Amino acid sequence: MSNVRSLYRRHRPRSFADMVGQEPVVRTLRNAVQQGKVHHAYLFVGSRGTGKTSTAKILACCLNCERGPTSDPCGACDSCRAIANATSLDVIEMDAASNNSVDDIRELRESVVFAPVSGRHKVYILDEAHMLSAAAWNAFLKTLEEPPPNTVFVLATTEAQKVPPTVIDRCHRFDFHRPTVEQIASVIRRAAESEEIQIPLEAVVAIARSATGSFRDALGTLEQLTIYSGSEIKLEDVLAVLGVADAALMEDVFEALAAGDSRSALAAVAKCVQRGRDSAAFVADLEVHARELLVVQTMEEVPAELSLTPEGDTRLLEQAERIPRALVVRTLDLLAAAMEAIKAGADSRTQLELALVKAANPEVDASTQALLARIERLEAQRGSTGSLAAPPRVVPPAPVPPRTAPGEEDLWPVGEEEPVARQAPVADAASQANTAPVAESAVAVADPEGEPEQAQASAVAPDGLAEIPAVSCDLESIASLWPAVVDLIRSENALLGALIDEAWPVELKGDELVLAFAPNDAFLKKKAEDHANRTMVGTALYQLSGLRLRLAYELREQGSQERERRSSEPGHEDLVARLMAEFDAEELPRDSTV
Contacts of residue 569, defined as CB under 8 A and 6 or more positions apart, other chains included, come to none
Q: Tell me the pairing of strands 504-509 and 512-517.
A: antiparallel
Nearest to 128 by CA among 94, 106, 157, 152: 157
Q: What does the alpha-carbon distance between residue 404 and residue 409 come to, in Å, rounded to a whole number?
A: 10
Give the per-residue pLDDT at 435: 37
Give the per-residue pLDDT at 415: 36
Residue 110, classed as helix, strand or coil, is: helix
Q: Would you call the peptide bond into 396 cis, given omega within 30 degrees of 0 as the criterion?
A: no
Burial class (CB in 10 A: 0-12, 13-18, 19+), 208: buried
Show the low-confidence residues of the chain (pLDDT under 50). Answer: 1-2, 384-467, 592-594
Query: What crossing angle do the helices spanning 52-64 and 23-34 adopt, rounded to 10°?
Result: 20
CB–CB of 183/304 below 8 Å? no
CB atoms within 10 A of CB 333: 15
Q: What does the alpha-carbon distance between residue 114 and residue 194 come to, in Å, rounded to a whole number?
A: 41
Residue 565 — φ and ψ, nearest 5°?
-65, -45
**Domains of the chain, start order:** 7-176 (3.40.50.300), 181-242 (1.10.8.60), 247-364 (1.20.272.10), 393-401+419-594 (3.30.300.180)
State pLDDT tens for residues 167-199.
898 899 999 988 888 888 889 999 999 888 899
Query: What crossing angle do the helices spanning 247-258 and 325-343 adopt, rounded to 10°?
Result: 120
CB–CB of 544/581 below 8 Å? no
Give the per-residue pLDDT at 472: 67
Give the per-residue pLDDT at 400: 41
Give the helix/strand (H/E) hosting 329.
helix 325-343
Residue 1, classed as helix, strand or coil, is: coil
SS (H, E, C) 111-143: HHCCCCCCCCCEEEEEECHHHCCHHHHHHHHHH
Taking phi over 0 as left and psi of -120 to 50 as alpha, with beta for the rest, 468 belongs to: beta
DSSP for 358-417, written as a single string: HHH-GGG--SHHHHHHHHHHHHHHTT--SS-PPPPP--PPPP-PPPSSTT---SS---SS
List 127's β-bridge partners, or say none. 95
User: What is the reported pTM?
Assistant: 0.55
CB atoms within 10 A of CB 304: 9
CB atoms within 10 A of CB 193: 11
CB atoms within 10 A of CB 582: 8
Q: What does the alpha-carbon distance between residue 231 and residue 225 come to, in Å, rounded to a whole number?
A: 9
